[in-house]
Every structure is written in C-alpha cells, then in structure tokens.
C-alpha cells in the first residue's frame, strides 16, 4: 500500500473567522491531488499583526506555539502568501541559531506554491468560464516570489495563473499595474484608512477598465479589503479566493 503524503493545514485568522469556505476549498484541492490533510485544532494566529505593530515579545509565544504544533508534518500548507511569508522569513528572529527551525521553515508553503513546486501539478481539471483579474498580494509577490515582479528583468512566471489557466473557459484581465498593492496592509488599513481606501479603489478601477468579472488573489485579507470597497460602492464585480476557483466553486 502506497503511503499518502500528509500535510499540516494552517488556516489564517481571516479565513477561520470570516471565510471558512476558503479553508474547505483548500482541503478539497489538496485531497484531489492525493494528499492527506490534517488540521491541528490547537493552532492559533501566526502573530503577524503583532509583529507588524512592533509587539515582538507578544508575537514570540505564538511563533513557538506554531513551531511546536506543525514541526511534525512533512509539509505545512497555507492558503495565504502573507502568513506563509511570516513563518518562513520573519520567524527567524524568534529562533536565532535554531537549526531545527531553519530546516522546518523550508517546509512551509503557500497553497499554489505547494501545488506547483512540491507536487509539480501541471493542470487542474475543471471549468471557469469567466474573465478573471488576478491580484498579486505583496507578501506572496515580493517575499515568496510566487510571480515575477514588474521591476525585474527576468523570464515571466506566475504560479497561481499557471494553475488557473488550465481551467477550461477562463480568461485573464490585462491590468495596467499588475503588481500594485491594494492598500490593505493589515493594521495599515486601520491607521491610514483614507490612503488604504484610495489604493484599493485604484486597484478596482484598473480591474474595471480591464473587464474583470471575478477578482481573485492568494490572500483573503486583501480580497476582504477590496470586496468591502466593491460592496460599499455597489459594484457587481465578484471576489473569490484562488482556492475556491481551483475547487470548482460557482461564482
């Protein structure tokens, strides 16, 4: 009997509290690829909001808790570039010189990154006959390198778009500024509400100009921000996490 790969599923706070359907879609996508998914119920916030606000000592026990819970898994998968980047690139300040943590950090992956880089998935079966605008969340783009940044002179790549592009009937919007921030930034959206909203509306205008019907991203926090602006301005553009589209959810 062939043993199935088991992954530990890390679900960010926004998904856990407000968008559980994204977590369920993530499980479905992974299980379709033959992966056994385990959700450790003792998991908590990764501590990113605290760390971003400068409360490092308050974030430290959350980092230690994360490591203690997830270190037993061969891989950890998270449907968020932001939270994945926090663990992989910013936890090292809490584990100086800890070789066990250093090895562990290389086993933590964002969902699309895991599908393309670990499972080497070339296509996802399914249909999505809609014009999709892909928002490049900052942490996934700049820290995890899930797509090519516009300022780099290099061969173009986009891990999420590669997977989405295998779906029958999908079209992609051609944006003027493909990797500009949406303005969310966690606590930035609270401290600088006016600037945050202006940035978000700029992104929405770019998608409207390109004919986007469904706005998608790898981070539900960015999508929450954009969806709030869309609903407030009574616009018809829909918002879906990449995992929901890959799982075959309807608009």
73-125 pLDDT tens trace: 999 999 999 999 999 999 999 999 999 999 999 999 999 999 999 999 999 99
Global confidence as pTM:
0.95
Angle, CA 227 vertex, CA 221 and CA 232 arms, to 5°:
135
Query: Do 25 and 241 touch, CB atoms closer than 8 A?
Result: yes
Per-residue pLDDT, 154: 84
Which class for 90: exposed (0-12), middle (13-18), buried (19 or more C-beta within 10 A)? Answer: buried
Could you please state the CATH topology (level 3) that the domain comprising 6-118 is classified under: Rossmann fold (3.40.50)
- The mean predicted confidence, pLDDT, of the chain is 95
pLDDT tens profile 147-171: 998 888 888 999 999 999 999 999 9
Q: What is the mean pLDDT of residues 37-54?
A: 95
Q: Is a pLDDT exceeding 90 seen at residue 2?
A: no
**Percent of residues, the chain, with pLDDT higher than 90:** 91
- The residue ranges of every structural domain in the chain are 6-118, 131-246
């Amino acid at each position: 009997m062939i043993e199935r790969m088991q992954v530990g599923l890390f679900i960010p706070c926004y998904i856990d509290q407000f968008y559980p359907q994204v977590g369920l879609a993530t499980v479905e996508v992974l299980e379709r690829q033959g992966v056994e998914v385990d959700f450790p119920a003792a998991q908590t916030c990764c501590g990113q909001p605290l760390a971003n606000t400068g409360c490092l000592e308050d974030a430290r026990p959350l980092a230690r808790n994360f490591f203690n819970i997830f270190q037993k898994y061969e891989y950890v998968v998270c449907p968020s570039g932001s939270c994945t980047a926090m663990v992989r690139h910013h936890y090292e300040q809490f584990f100086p010189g800890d070789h066990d943590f250093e090895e562990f950090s290389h086993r933590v992956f964002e969902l699309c990154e895991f599908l393309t880089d670990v499972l080497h998935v070339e296509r996802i079966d399914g249909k999505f006959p809609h014009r999709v605008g892909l928002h490049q969340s900052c942490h996934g783009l700049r820290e995890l390198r899930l797509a090519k940044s516009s300022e780099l002179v290099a061969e173009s790549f986009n891990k999420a778009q590669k997977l989405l592009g295998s779906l029958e009937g999908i079209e992609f919007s051609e944006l003027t500024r493909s990797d500009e921030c949406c303005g969310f930034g966690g606590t930035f959206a609270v401290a600088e509400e006016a600037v945050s909203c202006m940035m978000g509306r700029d992104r929405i205008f770019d998608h409207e100009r390109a004919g986007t019907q469904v706005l998608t991203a790898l981070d539900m926090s960015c999508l929450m921000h954009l969806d709030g602006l869309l609903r407030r301005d009574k616009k018809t553009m829909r918002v879906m996490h990449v995992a929901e589209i890959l799982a075959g959810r309807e608009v």
